[in-house]
Amino acid sequence: MATAKDRGPRRRVDARSSVERITAAGRAVLGTAEGSLDQIAAEAGVGIATLYRHFPNREALVRAVLDDILKTDLLPLIDRAADSPHPRRSLQDVATRLLDLITEEKGLVTFVSNFTDVAVDALQRVSESLHPLLLRAQQQGEVREDLTAEDIPRFLVMAVAGLAIPGTPPSLRARFIALLFDSLNPANATPLPPPLHEEDDLRSAVSSIAHT
């Protein structure tokens, strides 16, 4: 007979399993189309009350899905790039994968009203992870030295704005992401003007994309 001491770890395992199933279901349901919490609960094989116990609102669920996307699709790619002999090429591969994911996970944008805040947090996590790769690319002369870690999420947003438009074929995205990354080449580059922080609003930039 299970004791209270035995049931504690079992409940934690069950809870973790429910969270993982709900997160996976959220990603599956919202992949390229709109969905509801009831649909996600059904896909996960749990009741709606169980879903709300772990995710009290839509934002919490979207954050979990984005965290899963980062952990499974982007951060491993960044980790594998740590020893790459061509860090700028690795940065370009990460950006290309990010664009693919944004296209694939379009349903997330409309599922939560404050997607902008959620997306900004995710982009900032990506930029922090890319910082060492950026520094190495600069040390090897592959990326201009006046680019900063804070520029990375804005650079990615600029790419998203132009290249993640629905209907854009992967071949066209690949063509223009290569062109965009050529602008990072230090050869014959003119100095970047200093950023004006009062105009430096990443949330506004992401918001303009989320509402297109």
| 143 CB neighbour count, 10 Å cutoff | 22
Q: Would you state the pLDDT for residue 49?
A: 95
Q: Are residues 76 and 37 in the same domain?
A: no
Q: Are residues 26 and 73 in the same domain?
A: no
Q: Are residues 51 and 134 in the same domain?
A: no
Q: Which residues contact 192 (CB under 8 A, 6 or more apart)?
A: 144, 146, 147
Cα separation, 205 vs 199, in Å, equals 11
Q: Which amino acid is at 58?
A: R
* Both tokens assigned to 71: 């952990």
Task: Tell me the pLDDT band of 184, cut-offs 50, 70 and 90.
Answer: confident
Q: Which of 56, 78, 97 is the last residue of a domain?
A: 56
Q: Which residues contact 108 (CB under 8 A, 6 or more apart)?
A: 30, 62, 65, 66, 115
Which one is predicted more confidently, 200 or 37?
Answer: 37
Cα separation, 184 vs 142, in Å, equals 8
| Residue 105 near residue 27, CB atoms below 8 Å | yes
Q: Are residues 41 and 122 in the same domain?
A: no
CATH of the domain at 10: 1.10.10
Q: Are residues 75 and 49 in the same domain?
A: no
Q: What is the pLDDT of residues 87-119, one digit of tens each?
A: 988 988 888 888 788 777 778 878 888 777 888
pLDDT at 79 over 70: yes
* % of the chain at pLDDT higher than 90: 25
Q: Are residues 179 and 127 in the same domain?
A: yes
Tell me the average pLDDT across 186-212.
Answer: 66
Q: Would you state the pLDDT for residue 165?
A: 67
Q: Would you state the pLDDT for residue 205?
A: 60
Q: Are residues 110 and 202 in the same domain?
A: yes
Do you know the residue count of the chain?
212
Q: Which residues contact 133 (CB under 8 A, 6 or more apart)?
A: 78, 81, 82, 84, 87, 90, 91, 94
Q: Which of 38, 56, 74 is the last residue of a domain?
A: 56
CATH of the domain at 137: 1.10.357.10
Name the pTM for this structure.
Answer: 0.74
Question: How many domains, the chain?
Answer: 2
pLDDT at 183 over 60: yes
Q: Are residues 38 and 118 in the same domain?
A: no
Q: What is the pLDDT of residues 41-56, one digit of tens each?
A: 999 999 999 999 999 9
Q: Are residues 145 and 168 in the same domain?
A: yes
Cα separation, 110 vs 31, in Å, equals 11
Task: Tell me the pLDDT band of 23, cut-offs 50, 70 and 90.
Answer: very high
Q: Are residues 34 and 52 in the same domain?
A: yes
Q: Which of 40, 56, 72 is the last residue of a domain?
A: 56
* Both tokens assigned to 21: 């199933």
Of these ranges, 34-38, 125-129, 187-191, the one predicted with the greatest mean pLDDT is 34-38
Q: Are residues 41 and 95 in the same domain?
A: no
Domain of 25 in residue numbering reads as 1-56
* Both tokens assigned to 125: 């996590």
Q: Are residues 52 and 68 in the same domain?
A: no
Nearest 10 degrees: Cα torsion 108, 114, 115, 120: -160
Query: Average model confidence (pLDDT) for the chain?
Result: 81
Q: What is the pLDDT of residues 139-168, one digit of tens each?
A: 999 998 888 877 877 777 777 767 666 667
Q: Would you state the pLDDT for residue 212?
A: 57
| 149 CB neighbour count, 10 Å cutoff | 14
Q: Would you state the pLDDT for residue 199?
A: 47
